[in-house]
Structure 1
């Protein structure tokens, strides 16, 4: 029974790593789209967005290496995350700094909630997945907190984008876990 439970947890860990890998690809695409247009609409955020994108590239590499170690292919939602992320990034980049910050805050809120849950579920069952996930949490929290500093409570973009981006992020994660 213990072996079956361990195998199921490792399989779950593998699925989680696949979805996290695709999500990091989506995050890179969001920041790429935002950087492209923020040069015109929010130039003061460009360096921060580049820093965040470099973190996400490292996160994707961590999850990619873990997928390779496990002999698993990337998630079927990988390209969907990239295309959707770029469109979201470009649209919010066009709308300026408030939209960019509201998007980052919403995405990272969902991501952080999922990462914490993943760590709870996998703790003691899949040490490699726990190590990979744990290695990125602090930077994801940093992205959330820095973006939140730019968000002005009660303004238009956080009220409009927050629920849309949060529910879209949840939907992509849900879909990724089932593909």
Structure 2
């Protein structure tokens, strides 16, 4: 029988994947900040603020990993590299593409966080607490970015389904490797 490295507690697995996801979000914003200085300078302050929130979220999940004696998810570097590439590429197309990316990512993330809370409610109070502490900021990222989407729906129509599917795929990989 092969040795299974995946945690048996669903809260452990969720914390690991959320930690990797926050690393991916930091990387998206880092890539966007790099390029948006040229393509969307008015968004730079907001993107830095969002990245700071995500750094705080990653720290919450990192502390929870340490408390549980767990290593980070094997998808951690995939989230980082993929997130950075996504951030750079979408920022090349300007503020509407940046906003569409955030709306797509945060839509998927918020849905997953709410499902996680329902699933873990009576199983893992510490995981519920960690997840609950970040939801309001994630919702704010979504709502503020949605308010930046311009009348032109080109980038949202193109980017949002691709980014949403990519985000779902990375979460699936994290939960299953």
Using structure 2 for the length normalisation, give the TM-score.
Answer: 0.95
Is 1:10–1:125's contact at 8 Å kept on the other side of the alignment? no
| CA RMSD, Structure 1 to Structure 2 (Å) | 1.2
Question: Shift of residue 10 of structure 1?
Answer: 7.3
From 53, 56, 59, the equivalent of 2:54 is 56
Counterpart Cα distance in 1 of 2:138 and 2:167: 15
Question: Shift of residue 154 of structure 1?
Answer: 5.1
Deviations 1:105-143 (A, max 9, x none): 000000000000000000021000000000000000000
Counterpart Cα distance in 1 of 2:151 and 2:75: 33
Q: What count of residue pairs does the alignment treat as equivalent?
A: 171
Partner of 1:100: 98
> Which 5+ residue runs of structure 1 have no aligned equivalent?
1-8
> Which 5+ residue runs of structure 2 have no aligned equivalent?
1-6
Counterpart Cα distance in 1 of 2:88 and 2:164: 17
Counterpart Cα distance in 1 of 2:57 and 2:120: 18
From 31, 34, 40, the equivalent of 2:32 is 34
SS at match of 1:50: helix
Counterpart Cα distance in 1 of 2:160 and 2:150: 12
1:169 paired to 2:145: no
Partner of 1:5: none
